[in-house]
A and B are shown apart, each in its own frame.
Chain A
Amino acid sequence: MKALKINPIVIILINIIAPTMYIFISGRYLQIYLVSFATCLLVLMGRFKRILALWIVYALMFFGYYFSINVEGLKFVGLFLIVLVQAVPCLALASILITKYNSAQLLSSLETLHVPRILVVAVTITLKYIPTFKREFGYILESMRLRGIKFTWKRPIKSFQYFIVPQLFRCAALAEEVTAAGLVKGIDAPVKRTSFYEEKVTALDISILTVFAVGLIGGFIWR
């Protein structure tokens, strides 16, 4: 079977809505439903290894829950496990999202969601600088070592200060440059922003979301 191409917005919407439903419908039902729904979706996308991983993690956590809930003193563990396990199907879908789609595609879904342009630009900047800063923290640690003021847990506050201060002040200086670069690229143009990577929402996407919604309604009846 050919793997289907699904708009990232579908997964994003499912993950935004699904955990919310625990407030309204029976957790038992929702749990079973989400696992089966996520499995079907992953089958459609042809991610069979991911399904296996999902099931194994799920089974292990459930086993832990059944084991501990009946043992006096370990009940807490069981309770925590059953709370954690509810997030597993959503995490499986999220992992597809970040491995299969690139950041530009993910950002384009903000356009589909009609997020205000200034926030789209802001999130674009944040997303771009996360890996940059991560890398630069490495440079700073290296430069601390060469300066002879190595990071040490013996003086945590001083070390943390050396670690964070250069980066904070760099942000302040960068803000000016990034604003300038952004303005000449029209980040403030008063027209509706478009996205090169935005995909049209297809009939398939809509049917998946419809099936998902029907399933949720089923949860209300089940009770």
Chain B
Amino acid sequence: MKKIKIKDVVMVALLSALYFVLYMICGSLSMVFGAFGHAISPGICALITGTVMYFVSRKVARFGQFMIMQAILMLLCAIMGAGYIPWIITSMIGALIADFIASRETKPSVLKVALASGFFHVGQACGVFIPCWFFLESYREEWISRGQTPEAMDEMIKYTSGAMGVIATVVVFALSVAGVYLGYLILKKHLDKKDAMAA
């Protein structure tokens, strides 16, 4: 396990810029699908950026790489007015888990990188939904006072937060994993040749 150097940080910073650009492209693409597209956009982004995640694990391969990447993304969002504490916390935890899974060796298996990407993106998604759950709870009282039955309302909230929870974890996780495998597929030939040349 080698220590992270300035050059690695610069590389991560550049790849984060690439990640961000892809994120923006995905964001505008999923707009086409309307509200539904918006709900699944974190997943779509995770699918597309999997290639970047895989590249990071192959080219940087230092412990802390995913944490730095996430920190850059969070700080960037923060200074643009879109960062908030729960999101930052869950994202950083996700990135830490990702580093523990896939950054402790120079050539982690594709599966490890895929899992790492899963946690990395689920961390991002959770932070978006957690405040929402609390928010819905706080509205429960009001709805009941307006004549909705508590049971019906509980059902609704459970269903909605449940649905969001599923999207936040299962779908995003699955698409992140798929994204890294896509990245592997795309980069396999490109990187194999280089390794062969270096050897």
Contact = CB atoms under 8 A, between A and B. Distances in A.
A201 interface: no
B9 interface: yes
B73 to A, nearest CB: 8
A129 B14 contact: yes
A82 B134 CA distance: 12
Contacts of A119: 68, 71-72, 75
A154 to B, nearest CB: 17
B69 to A, nearest CB: 9
Given A15-B82, A15-B84, A79-B156, A122 B134 contact: no
B55 A168 contact: yes
A98 B80 CA distance: 6
Nearest to A176: B7
Contacts of B11: 171-172, 175
B13 A126 contact: yes
Given A119-B71, A168-B55, A126 B134 contact: no
A1 interface: no
B190 A165 contact: yes
**Chain A at the B interface: SS class:** helix
Contact of A109 (B6, B79, B132): B79
A11 B79 CA distance: 9
Contacts of B6: 118, 179, 182-183, 187-188
Interface in A153-187: 157, 160-161, 164-165, 167-169, 171-172, 174-176, 178-179, 182-183, 187
16 contacts: A8-B79, A16-B84, A19-B87, A22-B132, A79-B160, A80-B35, A83-B135, A97-B81, A122-B10, A122-B71, A123-B75, A126-B16, A160-B182, A174-B14, A175-B14, A182-B10
Interface of A: 8, 11-12, 15-20, 22-23, 26-28, 69, 75-76, 79-80, 82-83, 86, 90-91, 93-98, 106-107, 109-110, 115, 118-119, 121-123, 125-130, 132-134, 137, 157, 160-161, 164-165, 167-169, 171-172, 174-176, 178-179, 182-183, 187-188
